[in-house]
Structure 1
Amino acid sequence: MSGLTVDSTARAQAAAVRSGEISAAELLELHLDRIEERNPELNAIVSLDAERARAAAAVADQAQASGEELGPLHGLPFAVKDTHALAGWRTTYGSPIFAESVADRDDLLVERIRHAGAVFVGKTNVPEFAAGSHTFNTVFGVTRNPVDPTRSAGGSSGGAACALASGMVPLAEGSDMGGSLRNPASFCGVVGMRPSLGRVPEWPLYNQWESTSVGGPMARNVGDLALLLSVIAGPDPRAPQALGDPGSSFAPPLHPASLAGLRVACSVDLSGALVVDHEVAAVVRASATRLSDAGAAVVETAPDLSLADDTFRTLRAWHFQAKLGRLLAEHPTLFKPSLEANIRAGESLTGADVARAYAQRTALSETMRLFFGDHDVLLLPTSQVPPFPVEQEFPETINGQEMPDYLAWMRSAYFITVTGCPAISIPAGRTSDGLPVGIQLVARHGADRRLLEVAAAVEALLASSTP
């Protein structure tokens, strides 16, 4: 058998299957062994079905033997976020209301991954209806951090990030409204990207014009992330707001951007808008120093995002009430208190409130358009805190300052959400306790390929400084 391991890059694993160095069935068994080893403690993958996966791997190997055209993910084991429908598989949304629900079709994002040749093994755990950046629910329980199981894996794509970081799968997908691809990436030491609005179309949606949440890729390195983005990006007639660039335009190999002369705006706290843990802030500053030493033109500045908090909170509450209000009325005892409160907040919103939020979002988009006329990327913390104790729903204090609710500690992520710009979290350091810390790079709307190239260069730079 090949010397390949589950910790090899996704590109290396895909190439090995394609070349016949390893079969899809053999690759699957390697991953099932890792799942058996790590998942009982971490609880990242739920609704695991090893026999169904083995049958799919056998089909993949037969297709290859028959000379069929192979997709870019052919033979790669894959687990789907449990808020995304996977036909024939239990899809619970982390809610007791749907604890036994089985999907009768694939979501568009999953459909693309299936057509690319992936072998599905199960789902990845989520918070209830993907609300909050800590992954726990009453159906499956809590997902633990793979670096330190006493800590949170983040969320809402926490199961995905944990499974990826621990080698249970080579790639992962998720969704991001307030940081759900970026925060767990930072917590688990992997790469997570929130693409530009319209880059990864989603279907079906209750409202195709609601655009705070987007689907996106996660991987253990930027090159692997580009591979998955190339599969899930691109237009679809069912998604009227999809951007027109084909997915193939994001495929590796990446050509890392030159850091010499790269115009980097850096802000640890968005001009005082964020409370950031001291150790996280130190990692951001150290990363900026490394970029400057490599020839980047680093300046300490930030766009004015003072409208972002009200904008995000208004649109989030409106969205949650519109999507989940009827379910809450029918099942008033089956929602966690923080989610119920968010839905209730939407009940009192007026048309004028929503109109104000969209006007503010338009202004924020214009602010960023002008800002990126003078800067190539914006460097920020991904999360304002390192992974917090798994028993907490959210960090109650940062640097001794009390957080008013379960959203306030995620501003570094959700302030970027409402700009519509692409953002990527890459591993950048560790706390004194060895916990992962990511930095967030943001680029102008539509510049996803350029952002990947910059991220690849920064990833290589920071890796070269790691002992």
Structure 2
Amino acid sequence: MTDITALTAETMAAKLRAREMSASEVLAAHRTRTVAQEPTVNAFVTLDWDAAEARVAELDAMAARGEFAGPLHGLPVAIKDCFETKGLRTTWGSKSFENHVPDYDALHVARLRNAGAVITGKSNTPEFTLSGQTTNLVAGTTRNPLNPQKSVAGSSGGAAAALAAGMAALADGSDLGGSTRTPAAWCGVVGMRPTSGLIPYGPNPSPFDGLSVPGPMARTVRDLVLMLEVMQGNAACQPLGFWQSLPRLAGLDNPPARQTGRVALSLSPFGASVEPSVQAAIAQAETLCRGLGWQTAEDAPPLEPLMAHQDVIRGQCALQIRAALQPEMALAGESFRTACAQAEGRSLAELIAYQATRARVWTEVCAFFERYDFALWPTATGMPFSADLRDGEITEDWRTVTLTPPLELPSVSIPFGQSADGMPTGLHITGPKGSDARLLQFARSIERALKG
């Protein structure tokens, strides 16, 4: 008998629409899987099976009448616990919001719900998303389902773990500095940070700042685009809009239109020291790309100057969250307190210096993408570290994922080989701003070539 939780979300959706299985059966399979896996993995802050059961009953009644809610009809979806969910606890991983139950959905959550998604629970996140380790004082630590001693990174670690463990068909995440991409890499799934504005973020603690954005996560590129089609599209309340071609599942398997026919590949981008077995895994991308007809060159976009401003970037985001949500700082954990402290002593001159660097790098990166269609490198510089490390003990060099968000560049991580410890490695693919549709076509072509 086929394990429902092992099916792709696309296949699951097709079987639900053909009435080869019911939404109740799909939910029951995921609930059984969650009951078995969750005590070890701890991917969720909150689960609400009663609400999910009520929702699938509605959806099955619709299907019996030949009606379907939308493309995600009956699919169990995990929502990151930094996005509001109507009637379902939303904590931000913070003791200040431990009992907070919103009376509305975040904009993209409402879109998912309207498309037929069955929200089973809230996936774990570090407090206010500001850590590379998914742990907090509300729910504890999420562990990697592929090896529970290992980390899922952060901050969308609960989402990646739920997908890898078969506890959800799809999951959303947020990405400020790699938060969908690194967890995806270490859990062997797919995570995307879209161009800012492709998915409207509302309510947004920093509405005029495109650094943190919602992003889809899934087990395949096609599943990711199935979810993205529902999440994406401009909204009148959004200061940041999107005016390029929208990614679509139809045509995803077509090769991307080539602007230059060249891709850049770097095994040690931005001066990073990348673990040798990670380099060896990602090095195979060159042969694969050439086999697909791409010219390759050893190169990377000139993002290194932004490294001098990382504390300003992270600290600015922390203070914006603190101002918008006003948590009780006496209840805050180490990671959030540290992020706020990094910013409090900064001057306006330092912020202006960052913006000047950002403008200069933007011009240089635009020129870079006139020479290349896409840039490829390892998603993470090292192998997954222990799930029990505190922030100050983590040695991962995050520059491979933190330098693209200030320029709002679309990026996706897809599974690509293994490191020496037998854990997955991720191939990071970045394109010019607004190239999301072509980027995902390219990622899909890599995924298909890997699977033969």
Aligned to 2:38: 39
Aligned to 1:291: 289
Aligned to 1:165: 164
Q: Quick one: distance in 1 between partners of 2:183 and 2:324?
A: 30
Matched-pair contact (CA < 8 Å) for 1:287–1:462: no
Q: Give 1:4 shift.
A: 5.9
Provide the secondary structure at the position in 1 that maps to 2:206: coil
2:361 to 359, 364, 383: 364
Q: Quick one: distance in 1 between partners of 2:321 and 2:125?
A: 18
Aligned to 1:154: 153
Q: Give 1:38 shift.
A: 0.9
2:417 pairs with 1:420:
no
Provide the secondary structure at the position in 1 that maps to 2:377: strand
Matched-pair contact (CA < 8 Å) for 2:59–2:68: no
2:440 pairs with 1:456:
no
Q: 1:326 to 1:213 in 2, by over 3 A?
A: closer
2:189 pairs with 1:201:
no
Matched-pair contact (CA < 8 Å) for 2:311–2:342: no
Q: Quick one: distance in 2 between partners of 1:396 and 1:90?
A: 31
Which stretch shifts more, 338-347 or 381-390?
Answer: 338-347
Q: Quick one: distance in 2 between partners of 1:204 and 1:6?
A: 32
Q: Give 1:294 shift.
A: 4.2
Q: Give 1:205 shift.
A: 1.6
Matched-pair contact (CA < 8 Å) for 2:128–2:321: no
Q: Give 1:327 shift.
A: 7.0
Q: Give 1:340 shift.
A: 1.1
CA offsets, 1:3-41, max 9 Å, x none? 462111101101111111111111111111111111111
Matched-pair contact (CA < 8 Å) for 2:263–2:295: yes
1:315 to 288, 308, 313: 313
Provide the secondary structure at the position in 2 that maps to 1:310: helix
Aligned to 1:276: 274
Matched-pair contact (CA < 8 Å) for 1:223–1:253: no
Aligned to 2:189: 190
1:350 to 342, 347, 350: 347
Q: Residues 62-81 of structure 1 correspond to what in structure 2 (within 5 A)?
A: 62-81=61-80
Provide the secondary structure at the position in 2 that maps to 1:78: strand
Q: Residues 26-425 of structure 1 correspond to what in structure 2 (within 5 A)?
A: 26-244=25-243, 249-257=247-255, 262-272=261-271, 274-324=272-322, 331-394=328-391, 396=393, 403=395, 409-425=397-413
Aligned-residue RMSD, C-alpha: 2.1
The normalised TM-score by structure 2 is 0.95
CA offsets, 1:306-352, max 9 Å, x none? 22213443122112123216878x73432222321210121122223
CA offsets, 1:416-442, max 9 Å, x none? 112211000000011222111101001
Matched-pair contact (CA < 8 Å) for 2:80–2:124: yes
Q: Percent identity?
A: 37
Q: 1:54 to 1:419 in 2, by over 3 A?
A: same
Q: Give the counterpart letter for 1:451 in structure 2.
A: L
CA offsets, 1:112-145, max 9 Å, x none? 1111110111110111111112111111111110
Q: Give 1:262 shift.
A: 3.8
Q: Quick one: distance in 1 between partners of 2:384 and 2:84?
A: 28
Q: Give 1:292 shift.
A: 2.9
Name stretches of at least 5 consecutive residues in structure 2 with no aligned partner. Answer: none
The normalised TM-score by structure 1 is 0.92
Q: Quick one: distance in 2 between partners of 1:381 and 1:289?
A: 15
Q: Give 1:211 shift.
A: 1.4
Matched-pair contact (CA < 8 Å) for 1:131–1:339: yes
Q: Quick one: distance in 1 between partners of 2:248 and 2:305?
A: 32
Q: Quick one: distance in 2 between partners of 1:176 and 1:388?
A: 20
Q: Give 1:74 shift.
A: 0.7
Q: Quick one: distance in 1 between partners of 2:265 and 2:21?
A: 44
Q: Quick one: distance in 1 between partners of 2:79 and 2:150?
A: 23
Matched-pair contact (CA < 8 Å) for 1:187–1:438: yes
Which stretch shifts more, 318-327 or 252-261?
Answer: 252-261
Q: Quick one: distance in 2 between partners of 1:67 and 1:383?
A: 46
Q: 1:395 to 1:290 in 2, by over 3 A?
A: farther
Q: Quick one: distance in 1 between partners of 2:131 and 2:334?
A: 12
Q: Give 1:54 shift.
A: 0.7
Which stretch shifts more, 360-369 or 22-31?
Answer: 360-369
Provide the secondary structure at the position in 1 that maps to 2:415: strand
Aligned to 1:400: none
Q: Give the counterpart letter for 2:345 in structure 1.
A: S
CA offsets, 1:372-400, max 9 Å, x none? 11111101111111211111135857xxx
Q: Quick one: distance in 2 between partners of 1:377 and 1:185?
A: 20
Aligned to 2:418: 430
Matched-pair contact (CA < 8 Å) for 2:189–2:217: yes
Q: Give 1:242 shift.
A: 1.8
Matched-pair contact (CA < 8 Å) for 1:96–1:334: yes
